[in-house]
């Protein structure tokens, strides 16, 4: 018999215009347990938790805290009630230290003494097994360390109910293990944890309870111990069998679509490689080893300082002076909200951001034709809501990513740079994206930048490993010896093979 739930959600419903994000949801969250909240993109997970965190209000239903009805009219009210949320996009001041961020916004008449503040942060780190310097500047930290600072902020505010929204999306495998250890410590100390994730193997390893949303409704709740496999969990989540397997036929490389020769730029050192139509080159490495800068140079966001880059047979400067909207370069950036889309525009205008030249007749923009094509793509890619008048900010992260993919594949590119293309996608959408990338490979060369080794090995014909601003080695995925050495190469512990 479980104790009175820490939180009871009773009949919670929420709509945004004609879109019903949550429909009569009742769910209990218990102290000392980790609840995994699952569902496809757009199922309503983040909306439900945003109401618990005080970001938005339910249209109907009741939230009970330790048996008493409560209303969180703001995030401050939720924080005062012990509820804290760690978001996918961190809310830290980069120029401040760890301690300053933890204490930022603290109210009261007492004068804060820096030494005392730092001692409190050190004690919290020790208590929850975090290896952080209290005096380090945020801009010096890795993504995993920044996430730890977000957790420290909540622990310092004595949060007893913590919500993690896709917390491992930006973490290395080792950082994810550290996060799970911290989550388990918090649960063992009586805190209630909600864990939103699309990574079912992680759910199976850390969750005590599982709740599944589908199209805004709660369709299943269970104890993790009753689930036998990730395959069973995926089927219960999606409503059909999901194998997450795609058939990659041997590539037949054709003409060269990208050539990078002795590129040097800030941290980048002696980068050289080629990419041909008909192949996928997977670029892997721990974040911060030069992948981002390399991608931005190839895609025209930064000028190369030394060396040369050829795209579709043209030198870098000439290519970006004359680049066409179609049969050219498509960039699928990691920052889908800040770079790939404009949050304040509707889906039609977001679709036209990179395709407008295809809908021009003289000086006129043929919006009706663009609307018809966009609506067709919404259905083909199963984007929810399927409404071109919806604003980008109204879409879940996964549906927004599918919208970006639909737009860029519509351009029929010959060179695709895909940066973390399935980050934040549910397992069914991930399978769809993998198939789309393999199909696009027939007509394009694809540079796949990913932190997911499974994804890289499933899709890539060749793998390149980056460390310290260099490409350590490039090899075929059929080279089992090199594949086994990828973790060591990513950590800078392995030298290139003698054959390279």
Summarised one tens digit per residue, pLDDT across range 178-237 is: 899 999 999 999 999 999 988 888 999 999 999 999 989 999 999 999 999 988 898 888
| Dihedral pair phi/psi, residue 162, rounded to 5° | -120, 135
Structure-token pair, residue 333: 């950036």
Q: Are residues 203 and 308 in the same domain?
A: no
Q: How confident is the model at residue 64 (pLDDT cuts 50, 70, 90)?
A: very high
In a domain, residue 2? The reply is no
Q: Average of pLDDT values for 71-86?
A: 93
CATH at residue 36 = 3.40.50.300
> Can you give the residue range of the structural domain that contains 271?
256-490
Q: Indicate whether 352 belongs to any domain.
A: yes
For residue 73, what is the DSSP state?
-
CA distance 179 to 242: 27
Query: What is the mean pLDDT of the segment spanning 67-83?
Result: 93
Domain assignment present for residue 500? The answer is no
Q: Do 168 and 35 sit in the same domain of this protein?
A: yes
Give the three-state DSSP class for 398.
helix
pLDDT over threshold 50, residue 18:
yes
Using CA atoms, how far apart are residues 126 and 132, in angstroms rounded to an integer? Answer: 9
Mean confidence (pLDDT) of the chain: 90
Q: Is residue 290 part of a domain?
A: yes
Percent of the chain with pLDDT over 70: 96
Q: What mean pLDDT comes out for the span 33-58? A: 92
Same domain, 372 and 413: yes
Q: What is the 3-state secondary structure (H, E, C) of 229-297?
A: CHHHHHHHHHCCCCCCCCCCCCCCCCCEEEEEEEEEECCEEEEEEEEECCCEEEEECCCCCCHHHHHHH
Q: pLDDT of 99-146, one tens digit each?
A: 999 998 776 545 568 888 999 999 999 999 888 999 999 988 877 889
Into how many domains does the chain fold?
A: 2
């Amino acid at each position: 018999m479980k104790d009175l739930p820490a939180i009871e959600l009773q009949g919670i419903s929420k709509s945004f215009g004609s879109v019903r994000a949550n429909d009569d949801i009742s769910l209990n969250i218990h102290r000392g347990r980790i609840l995994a909240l699952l569902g496809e993109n757009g199922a309503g997970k983040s909306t439900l938790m945003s109401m618990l965190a005080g970001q938005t209000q339910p249209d109907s239903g009741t939230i009970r805290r330790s048996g008493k009805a409560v209303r969180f009219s703001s995030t401050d009210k939720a924080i005062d009630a012990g509820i804290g949320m760690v978001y996918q996009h961190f809310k830290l001041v980069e120029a401040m230290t760890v301690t300053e961020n933890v204490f930022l916004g603290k109210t009261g008449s007492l004068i804060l003494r820096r030494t005392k503040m730092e001692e409190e942060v050190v004690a919290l780190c020790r208590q929850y097994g975090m290896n952080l310097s209290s005096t380090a500047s945020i801009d010096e930290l890795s993504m995993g360390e920044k996430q730890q600072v977000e957790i420290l902020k909540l622990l310092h505010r004595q949060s007893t109910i913590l919500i993690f929204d896709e917390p491992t999306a930006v973490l290395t495998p080792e950082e994810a293990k550290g996060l799970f250890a911290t989550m388990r410590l918090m649960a063992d100390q009586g805190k209630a944890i909600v864990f939103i994730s699309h990574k079912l193997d992680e759910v199976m390893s850390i969750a005590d309870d599982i709740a599944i949303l589908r199209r805004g409704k709660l369709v299943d709740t269970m104890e993790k111990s009753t689930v036998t496999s990730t395959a069973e969990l995926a089927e219960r989540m999606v409503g059909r069998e999901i194998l997450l397997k795609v058939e990659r036929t041997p590539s037949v490389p054709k003409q060269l679509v990208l050539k990078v020769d002795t590129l040097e730029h800030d941290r980048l050192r002696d980068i050289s490689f080629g990419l041909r139509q008909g192949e996928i080159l997977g670029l892997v490495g721990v974040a911060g080893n030069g992948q981002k800068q390399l991608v931005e140079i190839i895609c025209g966001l930064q000028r190369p300082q030394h060396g040369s880059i050829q795209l579709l047979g043209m030198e870098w400067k000439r290519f970006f002076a004359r680049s066409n909207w179609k049969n050219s370069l498509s960039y699928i950036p990691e920052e889908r909200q800040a770079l790939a889309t404009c949050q304040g525009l509707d889906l039609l205008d977001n679709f036209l951001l990179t395709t407008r030249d295809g809908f021009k007749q003289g000086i006129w923009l043929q919006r009706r034709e663009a609307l018809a094509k966009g609506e067709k793509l919404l259905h083909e890619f199963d984007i929810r809501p399927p409404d071109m008048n919806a604003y980008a900010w109204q879409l879940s992260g996964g549906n927004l990513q599918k919208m970006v993919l639909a737009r860029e594949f519509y351009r029929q590119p010959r060179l695709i740079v895909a940066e973390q293309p399935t980050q934040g996608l549910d397992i069914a959408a991930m399978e769809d994206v993998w198939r789309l990338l393999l199909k696009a490979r027939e007509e394009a060369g694809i540079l796949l930048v990913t932190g997911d080794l499974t994804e890289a090995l499933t899709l890539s014909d060749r793998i390149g490993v980056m460390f310290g601003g260099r490409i350590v080695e490039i090899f075929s995925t059929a080279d089992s010896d090199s594949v086994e050495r990828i973790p060591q190469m990513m950590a800078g512990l392995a030298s290139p093979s003698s054959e390279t």
